Amino acid sequence: MKIAIKNMVCPRCIQAVSQVFAAMGITPLDVRLGEVIISQPLTETQYVELQRQLEMLGFELLDDQQQQLVEKIKSIIIQHVHQREDNQFAFTSVLQNELHKEYSQLSKLFSEKEGVTIEHYVILQRMEKVKELLSYNELTLSEIAYRLGYSSVAYLSAQFKKITGLTPSQFKSLGINLRKPIDNL
């Protein structure tokens, strides 16, 4: 049985959700971004308790199939942008291949549910990754641009300024206090 969970965006989220299940005495078969697979259905009491425990940590159980699909789209994007070293790929193909649905269908649903296009959501995620990498001060802007799949530093800088209102160097000089949690985008 699959349980869909909203706001799982990183490995620490997976760990936190795993701990909730362990505390309830439930051993999941698999825990990944946005979902937990268990061998047997939960009782109503277990479901209510799980919902309560997850909400205390900022997570939410999802019952709506369309919202579950939107959360899968978000999880795939977050995983590719934030947890991979090389982002030289097209999200259109990635989403179609992983979700086995036409991109136009996914795009329409995502826009309806989130009020923003998939493309804009990808840009927002990439900008947060740029902020993170700038804060670490370990890579040049050229290396960041390449790592995140930008064709040039100029294109990355222009997009960064459009989204944040700052150039990458202005952001760097201000510090990390301007970063946003990726699940709030």
What's the pLDDT tens digit per position in 63-113? 888 988 999 999 999 988 887 766 666 889 999 999 999 999 999 999 999
For residue 3, list its beta bridge partners: 36
Domain covering 64-185: architecture: Orthogonal Bundle (1.10)
What per-residue confidence (pLDDT) applies to 176? 58
pLDDT tens, residue by residue, 106-141: 999 999 999 999 999 999 999 999 999 998 889 999
CATH code, 2-62: 3.30.70
User: Hey, where are the domains in the chain?
Assistant: 2-62, 64-185
CA 76 – CA 94 distance, rounded (Å): 8
Tokens standing for residue 170 = 């202005």
Contact indicator for 169, 160 with CB cutoff of 8 Å: no
Half-sphere exposure of 53 toward its Cβ, with a 13 Å CA cutoff? 15
What per-residue confidence (pLDDT) applies to 90? 82
What per-residue confidence (pLDDT) applies to 91? 86
Residue 17 reports pLDDT greater than 90 = yes
Half-sphere exposure of 80 toward its Cβ, with a 13 Å CA cutoff? 21
CA 159 – CA 145 distance, rounded (Å): 11
Mean pLDDT, the chain, rounded, equals 90
